[in-house]
Chains A and B, each alone.
Chain A
Amino acid sequence: MPTIKVAVSGQPNCGKSTMFNAITGGSARVGNYPGITVDRLEGVYQQNGDKIHLVDLPGTYSLTSYSMEELVARNVIVDEHPDVVINMIDATALERSLYLAVQFMEIGAPMVLGLNMMDEVKRSGVTIDVKKLSTLLGVPVVPCVARVGQGREELMQAVAAAYKVSNGQWKPIKLSYGPELDPVIERMTAMIAEAGFLADRHDPRWVAIKYLENDEQVIEKGRAAGPLSAKLEALCKETEVHTRQHMGATPDAIIADWRYGFINGLLKQGVVSGGDELRRTSSDSIDRVVTHKVLGPVIMLLVLWLMFQITFTLGEYPKGWLEAGFEWLAGIGTAYLPEGDLQSLIVSGIIGGVGSVMSFTPLILIMFAMLVFLEDLGYMARVAYMMDKVMRIFGLHGMSVMPLIMSGGIPGGCAVPGVMSARTLRSPRERLATILTAPFMVCGAKTTAYLMLVAAFFPGNPTRAMFLVVLAAWGFVLLVSRLLRSTVVRGESTPFVMEIPPYRLPTLRGVAHHTLERVWQYVKKAGTVILAVSILMWAVMTFPKLSEETVAAFDARRDAAVERVKAANPSASEEVLAALTDDAAKTIEDEQNEEALKNSIGGRVSLFLSPATELAGFPWQANVALLGAFAAKEVFVSTMATAYSMGEVDPEESESLSEKLAADPAWTLPAILSVFAFMLLYTPCMVTVVAIAKETNWKWAAFSVLGSMTFAFAVSVAIYQIGKLFLV
Chain B
Amino acid sequence: MVVSLRKLAVNQQGCIKAVTASGEMGRRIRDMGLMPGTPIMVVGHAPLADPVALRMRGFTLSLRNSEADCITVEAL
B32 interface contact, C-beta 8 A: yes
Return A180 CB to nearest CB of chain B, in Å: 15
Q: Give the CA-CA distance A252 to B23 in the complex, in Å.
A: 9
Return B68 CB to nearest CB of chain A, in Å: 10
Docked complex: B33-76 residues within 8 A CB-CB of A: 33, 35-36, 39-41, 43-51, 53, 55-64, 67
Docked complex: B1-56 residues within 8 A CB-CB of A: 13, 18-19, 21-22, 24-33, 35-36, 39-41, 43-51, 53, 55-56
Q: Is the CB of B31 within 8 A of A297?
A: no
Q: Choose one: B18, B29, B40, B57; the contact of A96 (CB below 8 Å).
A: B57
Q: Give the CA-CA distance A498 to B35 in the complex, in Å.
A: 16
Q: Choose one: A252, A293, A501; the contact of B47 (CB below 8 Å).
A: A293
Q: Choose one: A250, A499, A501; the contact of B22 (CB below 8 Å).
A: A250
Give chain B's interface residues, CB within 8 Å of chain A: 13, 18-19, 21-22, 24-33, 35-36, 39-41, 43-51, 53, 55-64, 67
Return A91 CB to nearest CB of chain B, in Å: 9
Q: Is the CB of A260 within 8 A of B35?
A: yes
Interface CB pairs A-B, < 8 A, 21: A96-B59, A99-B33, A252-B27, A253-B19, A253-B30, A257-B30, A275-B58, A277-B56, A292-B47, A296-B46, A386-B47, A388-B64, A392-B64, A494-B24, A495-B21, A497-B31, A497-B32, A498-B61, A498-B62, A499-B61, A500-B53
Residues from chain B with Cβ under 8 Å of A392 in the complex: 64
Residues from chain B with Cβ under 8 Å of A287 in the complex: 43-44, 53
Q: Is the CB of B47 within 8 A of A95?
A: no
Given contacts A93-B59, A278-B39, contact A499 B32 (CB under 8 A): yes
Return A386 CB to nearest CB of chain B, in Å: 5
Residues from chain A with Cβ under 8 Å of B19 in the complex: 253
Q: Is the CB of B60 within 8 A of A284?
A: yes
Q: Is the CB of B60 within 8 A of A502?
A: yes
Return A93 CB to nearest CB of chain B, in Å: 4
Closest 8 CB pairs of A and B: A389-B48, A93-B59, A62-B31, A256-B30, A500-B60, A495-B25, A278-B41, A497-B28
Residues from chain B with Cβ under 8 Å of A66 in the complex: 24, 27-28
| Chain B minimum-CB-distance residue to A255 | B30
Return A478 CB to nearest CB of chain B, in Å: 15
Q: Give the CA-CA distance A296 to B53 in the complex, in Å.
A: 14
Given contacts A66-B24, A66-B27, contact A92 B59 (CB under 8 A): yes
Chain B interface helix/strand/loop/mixed:
mixed
Give chain A's interface residues, CB within 8 Å of chain B: 61-62, 64, 66, 90, 92-96, 99, 248, 250, 252-253, 256-257, 260, 275, 277-281, 283-284, 287-288, 291-294, 296-297, 385-386, 388-390, 392, 398, 426, 494-502
Q: Which of A291, A293, A494, A496 has the largest number of chain B CB atoms within 10 A?
A: A496
Q: Choose one: A256, A398, A494; the contact of B31 (CB below 8 Å).
A: A256
Return B2 CB to nearest CB of chain A, in Å: 15
Q: Choose one: A99, A291, A496; the contact of B64 (CB below 8 Å).
A: A496
Return A209 CB to nearest CB of chain B, in Å: 14
Q: Is the CB of B36 within 8 A of A257?
A: yes
Q: Which of B26, B39, B47 has the largest number of chain A CB atoms within 10 A?
A: B47
Q: Give the CA-CA distance A35 to B32 in the complex, in Å.
A: 28
Q: Choose one: B29, B39, B53; the contact of A495 (CB below 8 Å).
A: B29
Q: Give the CA-CA distance A496 to B52 in the complex, in Å.
A: 10
Given contacts A292-B47, A389-B50, contact A496 B63 (CB under 8 A): yes
Residues from chain B with Cβ under 8 Å of A95 in the complex: 33, 57-58
Residues from chain B with Cβ under 8 Å of A498 in the complex: 61-62
Q: Choose one: A250, A291, A398; the contact of B44 (CB below 8 Å).
A: A291
Q: Which of B19, B40, B49, B59 has the largest number of chain A CB atoms within 10 A?
A: B59
Q: Give the CA-CA distance A279 to B32 in the complex, in Å.
A: 18
Q: Is the CB of B43 within 8 A of A280?
A: yes
| Chain A minimum-CB-distance residue to B24 | A66
Residues from chain A with Cβ under 8 Å of B26 in the complex: 250, 252-253
Q: Is the CB of A385 within 8 A of B53?
A: yes
Residues from chain A with Cβ under 8 Å of B48 in the complex: 389-390
Q: Is the CB of A284 within 8 A of B55?
A: yes
Q: Is the CB of B46 within 8 A of A388?
A: yes
Q: Is the CB of A495 within 8 A of B50?
A: no
Q: Give the CA-CA distance A296 to B61 in the complex, in Å.
A: 18
Q: Is the CB of B58 within 8 A of A93?
A: yes
Q: Is the CB of A278 within 8 A of B50?
A: no
- Beyond A278-B56, A389-B46, A499-B32, 15 additional contacts (C-beta under 8 Å) are A62-B27, A64-B31, A92-B58, A92-B59, A93-B58, A93-B59, A95-B57, A96-B59, A256-B35, A277-B58, A278-B39, A388-B46, A389-B49, A495-B28, A497-B62
Residues from chain B with Cβ under 8 Å of A494 in the complex: 24-25
Return B72 CB to nearest CB of chain A, in Å: 12
Q: Give the CA-CA distance A253 to B71 in the complex, in Å.
A: 14
Q: Is the CB of B29 within 8 A of A497?
A: yes
Q: Choose one: B41, B47, B51; the contact of A496 (CB below 8 Å).
A: B51
Q: Give the CA-CA distance A278 to B29 in the complex, in Å.
A: 18
| Chain B minimum-CB-distance residue to A258 | B35
| Chain B minimum-CB-distance residue to A60 | B31
Q: Choose one: A62, A283, A497; the contact of B60 (CB below 8 Å).
A: A283
Given contacts A253-B19, A260-B33, contact A426 B59 (CB under 8 A): no
| Chain A minimum-CB-distance residue to B55 | A278
Q: Give the CA-CA distance A279 to B25 in the complex, in Å.
A: 27
Q: Is the CB of A291 within 8 A of B31?
A: no
Q: Is the CB of A96 within 8 A of B32?
A: yes
Residues from chain A with Cβ under 8 Å of B28 in the complex: 66, 426, 495, 497
Q: Give the CA-CA distance A580 to B27 in the complex, in Å.
A: 82
Residues from chain A with Cβ under 8 Å of B47 in the complex: 291-294, 296-297, 386, 389
Return A514 CB to nearest CB of chain B, in Å: 24
Return A116 CB to nearest CB of chain B, in Å: 14
| Chain B minimum-CB-distance residue to A94 | B58
Return A63 CB to nearest CB of chain B, in Å: 10
Residues from chain A with Cβ under 8 Å of B53 in the complex: 287, 291, 385, 500
Q: Is the CB of B40 within 8 A of A385?
A: no
Q: Give the CA-CA distance A398 to B64 in the complex, in Å.
A: 10
| Chain A minimum-CB-distance residue to B53 | A500
Residues from chain A with Cβ under 8 Å of B33 in the complex: 95-96, 99, 260
Q: Choose one: B18, B51, B60; the contact of A398 (CB below 8 Å).
A: B51
Return B42 CB to nearest CB of chain A, in Å: 10
Q: Is the CB of B62 within 8 A of A93?
A: no
Return A138 CB to nearest CB of chain B, in Å: 22
Q: Give the CA-CA distance A515 to B56 in the complex, in Å.
A: 34
Residues from chain B with Cβ under 8 Å of A386 in the complex: 46-47
Residues from chain B with Cβ under 8 Å of A496 in the complex: 51, 62-64, 67
Return A83 CB to nearest CB of chain B, in Å: 28
Q: Is the CB of A278 within 8 A of B40?
A: yes
Q: Give the CA-CA distance A17 to B51 in the complex, in Å.
A: 29
Q: Give the CA-CA distance A275 to B13 in the complex, in Å.
A: 17
Q: Give the CA-CA distance A708 to B45 in the complex, in Å.
A: 37
Residues from chain A with Cβ under 8 Å of B44 in the complex: 284, 287-288, 291
Return B26 CB to nearest CB of chain A, in Å: 6
Residues from chain B with Cβ under 8 Å of A388 in the complex: 46, 50-51, 62, 64
Residues from chain B with Cβ under 8 Å of A502 in the complex: 59-60
Q: Is the CB of A499 within 8 A of B27?
A: no
